[in-house]
Structure 1
Amino acid sequence: MTLLEALILGVLQGLTEFLPVSSSGHLEIGKVLLSLKLAGNESLMFTVVVHFATALATMFVYRKDIGRLLNGLLQFKNNDETRFAGLVLISMVPAGIVGLLFEKEIETLFEGRIALVGSMLIVTGLLLFIADKSRTTLKKITPLSAFVVGIAQAIAILPGISRSGATISTSVILGIDRDNAARFSFLMVIPIIFGKIILDAGDLIQELSEIQGTATVPFSAMAGGFISAFVVGVLACRLMISMVKNAQLKYFSFYCFVVGFISIVSYYYY
């Protein structure tokens, strides 16, 4: 992987992380279009690094909300902040279980399986279309709904299933208003990304120490992908905060249908 290729993939990650069109799916499509031949562990490592960058972008954009959340938690009282933190913890359970129990199986999914990505993009499109037809109410997020949204996030580990699309759509289908759905969707992923980084810290450090040797993803490319994903992620996140509230999810679903179909056709006929 060259620096230019990493920058392109970083921009792709930054843009698609906050659109309900699957950033992981587009990353895999991007790797195929760039003719990148990466081992499963290297491909997954690059994916984790750029996802970490967009998690930091989310923290930067929502820094005031996070500051209020931390301030409320430090008061050690049963306030809105502690309740919100509890809901985030509940939403982490499904993805945490899937990540711990099926780590090796998940790794094999990030090896240019373009047909799988295309199929899952179509599933994402169906979910977005159903959500667009759902009636939105002013329901608040409850422990049960947080867990259900967490299940959607766990399923979104599959490349091609949009994490934001799955979690926002699930929230809307459950009757949660789009503003809270978007806010919860963007903030709930932060602990998951940091947890993944912490759990894989040893392996990542070992990989990075060998990266100048035989690895196909040099350190400069990894850093370039991280920086471009962060910068573009900040811009895209700010844009989507204003767009998600009024966006027509069906238009994103049509996009997923088209890209998914093209991906499947290209796999079988090219």
Structure 2
Amino acid sequence: MDILQAIALAVLQGLTEFLPISSSAHLILLPVIVGWDDQGLAFDVAVHVGTLTAVVVYYRQDLLKLISAWFGSLLGKGFNDEAKLAWYVGLGTIPVGLVGISLSDAMQEALRSPLVIAAATIVFALLLWWAEKRAKEQRDTITLLDAVVVGLFQAIALIPGTSRSGITITAGLLLGLKREYAAKFSFLLSIPVIALAGSLKALELYQSGFDILWGFMFIGAAVSAVVAYLSIAWFLKLLNKISMMPFVWYRLVLGIVLIGVFAGQA
């Protein structure tokens, strides 16, 4: 790995982690196009730390309120809207955790096929299109049922190419949530998910005994954090002005490009 590869991959991860366009699809396509070797597990951990830092910093005030309200609910001090939302974030994380644990290494490897990623990119683009067309956007509050449904949809994101943010925002739209609130709940849900995924990758890294190039890791984490923070801010502002259709069309084109690149290698 060189400095250019580290920066490019970190920018790509930071940009695509929170947009509904599938970070896995981009991260598999770029190295193939430019002929790079795999960046390695350590770098994956670093950029996950970066994106986790970005969403925590962006929602730091909300998180402080949620954590305080959650502890308050445990201590019998009431069950206000913030406490409910904190519990719902935890509840929505359970399905993806259970499904992730149940997937064997062979199944995970099979799902990382470029053609599987291409198919998921296209299929879930069409689902997002359908959700956008029938979205009523009536609510900016979430219920217990909403948390369960969005959590179940999030588990589907273990299929690379789905896009975790894309599938959870799709679920929110189908449930009648406003775009901005569906995106906010999606991003709050990402915090425990990214933390768990990053922890598992870090454990794998520790057990593997790989030498770590700390300079590249720092660059990857820092760049992905800055880009992810800006990406979240830009995306939330953009939702006030446009529909989800530009992302739908982008995903469809990306899926077709992936098929074109990898179909001959199947």
- TM-score, scaled to structure 1: 0.87
- 1:235 is the counterpart of 2:220: no
Q: Give the Cα–Cα distance (whole angstroms) in 2 for the partners of residues 196 and 269 of structure 1.
A: 32
Distance 1:223 1:64, change over 3 A: same
Runs of 4+ aligned residues of structure 1 deviating over 4 Å after TM superposition are none
Counterpart of 2:30 in structure 1: which amino acid? G
Tell me the equivalent position of 1:215.
Answer: none
- Name the structure 1 match of 2:90: 89
Q: Could you tell me which residue of structure 2 aligns to residue 254 of structure 1?
A: 249
Give the aligned partner of residue 185 of structure 1.
Answer: 186
* 1:59 and 2:60 correspond: no
Q: Which whole-Å deviations, capped at 9, do the CAs of 1:77-131 have from their partners, x for residues lacking one?
A: 21112211111111111100111111524642586x3222211110121022112
Tell me how large the CA RMSD over aligned residues is.
2.2
Kindly provide the CA deviation profile for residues 204-252 of structure 1, in whole angstroms up to 9, marking residues without a partner as x.
3344x5225xxxxx44333322221111111111111211243311121
Q: Which amino acid aligns with 2:11?
A: V
Superposed displacement of residue 72, structure 1: 1.8
The answer for the alignment partner of 1:73 in structure 2 is: 70
Structure 2 stretches lacking a partner, 5+ long:
none
Structure 2 contact 51–228 (Cα < 8 Å) conserved: yes
Q: How many residues of Structure 1 are paired with residues of Structure 2 in the alignment?
A: 260
CA contact (8 A) 2:70 2:87 kept: no
Unaligned 5+ segments in structure 1 are 213-217
Counterpart amino acid of residue 128 in structure 1: L
Query: What SS does structure 1 have at the residue aligned with 2:26?
Result: helix
Query: 2:239 corresponds to which residue?
Result: 244
C-alpha contact 2:69 2:79 (8 A) present in aligned 1? no
Q: Is the 8 A contact 1:90 1:146 kept in 2?
A: yes
Aligned residues of 2:58 and 2:229 also touching (Cα < 8 A): yes
Do the aligned partners of 1:93 and 1:147 also contact (CA within 8 Å) in 2? Answer: no
User: Is residue 112 of structure 2 the alignment partner of residue 115 of structure 1?
Assistant: no
Give distance in 2, aligned partners of 1:168 and 1:132.
Answer: 10
Percent identity between matched residues is 35
Q: Measure the CA separation in 1 of the matches of 2:106 and 2:46.
A: 19
User: What is the CA distance between 1:48 and its match in structure 2?
Assistant: 4.3
Q: Is the 8 A contact 1:28 1:159 kept in 2?
A: no
Tell me which residue corresponds to 1:19: 19
- Displacement of 1:264 in angstroms is 0.3
Report the AA paired with residue 115 of structure 1: L
Q: Tell me the secondary structure at the aligned position of residue 72 of structure 2.
A: coil
Amino acid of the structure 2 residue aligned with 1:175: G
1:128 aligns with 2:123: no
2:5 and 2:11 map into 1 onto residues whose CA distance is 10
Q: Which residue of 1 aligns with 2:138?
A: 138
- Please report the TM-score for the alignment, with normalisation by the length of structure 2: 0.88
1:265 pairs with 2:260: yes
Relative distance call for 1:201 and 1:12 in structure 2 (3 A) is: closer
- Residue type of the partner of 1:228? V
Partner of 1:173: 174
